[in-house]
Structure formats: structure tokens, C-alpha cells
Amino acid sequence: MRIPLIAGNWKMNTTVAEATELVHDMLEKLDKIEGVDRILCPPFISLAVVGELLKGSSIKLGAQNMHFEAKGAYTGEISPLMLTSLCEFIILGHSERRWYFGETDEIVSKKVKAALSSGLKPILCVGERPEENEAGRTEEVVSKQINCGLSGIASCPDIVIAYEPIWAIGTGRAASGEGAAATIKFIRTCLASLWNKDIAQGLRILYGGSVTSNNITEFVSQPEIDGALVGGASLKAEEFVSIVSQTAAIKRQPV
């Protein structure tokens, strides 16, 4: 059984004071929801503060990016070594990193390796651009991202995949539940050929892209979809709590 997971990616939003307030606003309700792993991914500068606030709760912490080297002359970068004492999860290969900051599959793969060898749990993001989607190239694009991103990596139950079609991120134009589930099913077949069927069945694959409290059930009612990576809607306490509690209710039902 795969434990459902909802992660909030706050992106480049919230000052330390705002991050503190946001956690205060959601902590009590979020902590009580059972049956779903809940992860908050604030900006680097708020990791320590948010980590303190989450202490003693069941909510986990993640970062949004990292360098693959442990240390060195990389001005402005954050290393896996710096993160291990602060958080458990790390979002890698987010499309905003790939397209605004030129992260290639090779770089993403180095980051996944570095995360796993440092004991961080990677949330590897994949997804196609609008023109690739329109040209029917979704499977080709995500299989390349999966195969390159995970090449040379031994299977690990801690790896989480997030399928985030770029045309759906921050646009208010989410994929359909069925469409997302079909691509996620395909991603599982890629993981099965990379490792094996049992491992692929055990790994969690999330959907991301304009998820809100109004459409979350469409995604999590699909057995293939194990949860969501939520951007904008994770910045509103009530909205995020609602997304998590609806997921818990749906995934609790016997299929």
C-alpha cells in the first residue's frame, strides 16, 4: 500500500515572518489529519524556523532545490550536507528550475544521486511543455526525464515522482484526473523497466499543476495518483488543509 502524500511547494513566497504565520495558521488542523503524509517546502531561509514549529508534529519538511556537491566555491548555493540536519525531503528538477535556471536531466540526475547518498528523500519532478503536449510527445518527454534523471541510481523506496505538466503549473488550467492518471500509469511502466514491477508499484507518484480544494478529488480518486504537489494553493492555510483532508477521506475509502 502506498501512503498518500500531499506536499506544499511555497516556491519564492513568504518572508520568515509570513512563513511563521502560515505554519501557525495550519499546524493544528494539518497535524490531526491521518493517513496522508504532509510535507511543507518553504524557502531555504525559513527551513530552520518552520522546522522548529513542526517539531513534535506529524508534518514533515522539505526544501525546494539544492546543489549536488557537498561543499565548495558555488556562491549562493545550498548543499545536501547543509539540508540533512534541517529537512527530510527535497524537490528536484522542478520545471521552474529546468526552464528558468537551465537544469538539464544530467544535472537533475546528479542531484538525485547526491540527495539519496545524503539521506534526503527526493521528489523528482517531470512534465512536458505545452507544445510537447500538443504534439503528442508527453510520453517521450517524461520517459526521457525519468530514465535520465534516475540513470545509474539503485532503486530506493524513498523516491517520490511528481508528474507536473508545465502547461498546468500556475495557470489555473489543471490536467484532467483521467489524463494525469494515464501519464502516471505510463511513468510507473518506465519505473518498472528501469528497476522492476514490484518496486514501481511501491513508489509514490503525485500529480502537480493548479491543484486546489475544488479539484483535488478528481486527482486522488484515481488509484494511480498517490497525492499532489501543490503550489499556489499551499500558501493559503485553509485551502491546503482542505486539500489534505479531502485526500485522506478519498484514499481511506476501500476501492
Active-site residue list: 94, 164
Residue 2, C-alpha cell as written in the block: 502506498
Residue 17, C-alpha cell as written in the block: 515572518
Note the residues at the interface with ligand PGA (CB under 6 A).
9, 164, 169-170, 208-211, 229-233
Q: Residue 79: which H helix or E strand, with range?
A: none
Kindly state the smallest distance separating residue 72's Cβ from ligand PGA, in Å. 29
**Which residue is at the shortest CB distance from ligand PGA?**
231
**Measured between alpha carbons, how far is 200 from 194 in angstroms, rounded to an integer?**
9
Torsion of CA 108, 112, 118, 123, to 10 degrees: 110
Kindly state the smallest distance separating residue 77's Cβ from ligand PGA, in Å. 21
- Identify which of residues 10 and 195 has a Cβ nearer to ligand PGA in the complex: 10
- Identify which of residues 210 and 245 has a Cβ nearer to ligand PGA in the complex: 210
Kindly state the smallest distance separating residue 169's Cβ from ligand PGA, in Å. 4
- Identify which of residues 195 and 219 has a Cβ nearer to ligand PGA in the complex: 219
- Identify which of residues 52 and 238 has a Cβ nearer to ligand PGA in the complex: 238
Kindly state the smallest distance separating residue 134's Cβ from ligand PGA, in Å. 19
Q: Residue 17: which H helix or E strand, with range?
A: helix 16-32
Q: Are 207 and 165 in contact (CB under 8 A)?
A: no
Residue 227, C-alpha cell as written in the block: 497525492
* Strands 204-208, 160-163: pairing kind: parallel
Query: What residue spans of 84-128 are helical by DSSP H?
Result: 95-100, 105-118
